[in-house]
Amino acid sequence: MAAERERLGLSREETARRARIAPEYLAYIEEQPAAPSLATLISLAAALGTDVQSLRGGGRDLPPGRGSALLHPELRDLSPEECRARLSTHGVGRIAVTTPDGPAVVPVNYDVVDGAIVFRTAPHSVPAQAVGSEVAFEVDHLDEAMSQGWSVLAVGPAQPVTEPAAVRRLTERARSSPWAGGEREMWVSIRPTRLTGRRILPADR
């Protein structure tokens, strides 16, 4: 719980305010072997943009989407502005590419710079094979506790970034390092020509 809060750059006071609990109680939950109620966990999960199972440390190796569906779900299309808002932070997305061995979908750490999706990879990696072709890039978020979520799909040409000044600018502005580690100094840019998204939420909202 504390790790997720710190990852988001939130103070205890702000997190407690969002979850509508006392900051002192949040400190107790983070520091002691506490057993908060399900209602408290749901509030904290919503405040941190995650789910109850993740806060409890369970299901780390399980795929998302195991929760029950909503009784009356509504599937809503996202506007281009909403898609850009969800895409334009940074994090981990999935890129779909065609390789000599067939289609492949792999996760990459990405940023959005001047409207383009950019990521670092190794020259001979699977993501590098996206260069020179049209690719699909997807990001999503699932809230297991509330059975809600959204996904955004960007489609466009993938191009290498080779101009030294542009490479230096991207490197300086990068907000995260590739989780895979190693030498990943090849920058790839995807400028979306098509941007679509959908959101699942209760029908009465």
Mapped onto helix, strand or coil, the DSSP state of residue 103 is: strand
Please determine, for residue 205, whether its predicted confidence score (pLDDT) is greater than 60: no
Contact partners, residue 200, CB within 8 Å, separation at least 6: 70, 73, 74, 75, 76, 147, 148, 149, 150
Ordered by start, the domain boundaries in the chain are 2-55, 73-202
DSSP code at position 127: G
CATH number of 2-55: 1.10.260.40
pLDDT of residue 70: 67
Regarding the domain with residue range 73-202, which homologous superfamily does it belong to in the CATH classification?
A: Electron Transport, Fmn-binding Protein; Chain A (2.30.110.10)
Q: What is the pLDDT of residues 32-80, one digit of tens each?
A: 877 888 888 889 988 888 878 777 766 556 666 666 666 778 889 999 9
DSSP code at position 129: G
Please give the model's pTM, rounded to 2 decimal places.
Answer: 0.67
Q: What is the pLDDT of residues 164-180, one digit of tens each?
A: 998 888 887 777 777 67
